[in-house]
Amino acid sequence: MKGYLAERRLPENLRRLHEAIKEFQPTKRFHYELDYQRELTGFLRARFGSVVVEEQRGRSRPDIVVFEIAIEVKGPTTNHELKTIADKIVRYHQHFQSVVSVLFDVQDEQHFEEWLAGMARQFPHVVIIRK
């Protein structure tokens, strides 16, 4: 499943964002999502300029918004965190052009691989990046 994006043609802004997030290297191992999110936000701001943090639209409030693309950061990523992502994708997609989920420190490899396969089938328009 690691190459599931290789076969997809992404819109230009989503492709640029995807490439930038894949290039992002955190300065240390983070134990808290908010700290990781702050560092990623700074990186994206330096790269793209306009970045909004926790912009609320309706009842949706993604962690980061770039190019009208909602970014949801999860980590350390437990099975519980994985369960919340599908709900957020459904809601965010009503208010944003695309959704990117950035996952760090995945805790259960087998569960993650099964989850990722299901997400790719159910939400082909969503980009999931494991860091």
| 37-92 residue pLDDT tens | 999 999 999 999 989 998 889 888 999 999 999 999 999 999 999 999 999 999 99
7 lies in a domain? Answer: no
Single pTM value for the model: 0.90
Number of domains within the chain: 1
- 16, part of any domain: yes
- In a domain, residue 58? The reply is yes
Of 7-11, 15-19, 52-56, give the range with the top mean pLDDT.
15-19
Q: Whose structure tokens read 């700290």?
A: 35
Domain presence at residue 6: no
Q: Report the CATH number that the domain containing residue 50 is assigned in CATH.
A: 3.40.1350
Q: Is the pLDDT of residue 5 over 60?
A: no
Helix segments in 57-100, DSSP class H: 79-92
Report yes or no on 24 lying in a domain. Answer: yes
Residue 34's domain comprises 12-130
Q: Alpha-carbon distance 56 to 43, whole Å?
A: 22
Do the domain assignments include residue 3?
A: no
Residue 65 belongs to a domain: yes
Exposure class string for 103-113: b at 16+ Cβ within 10 A, else e: bbbbeeeeebe
Query: What's the rounded mean pLDDT across residues 101-105?
Result: 96
Provide the pLDDT for residue 55.
Answer: 84
Does residue 62 sit within a domain? yes
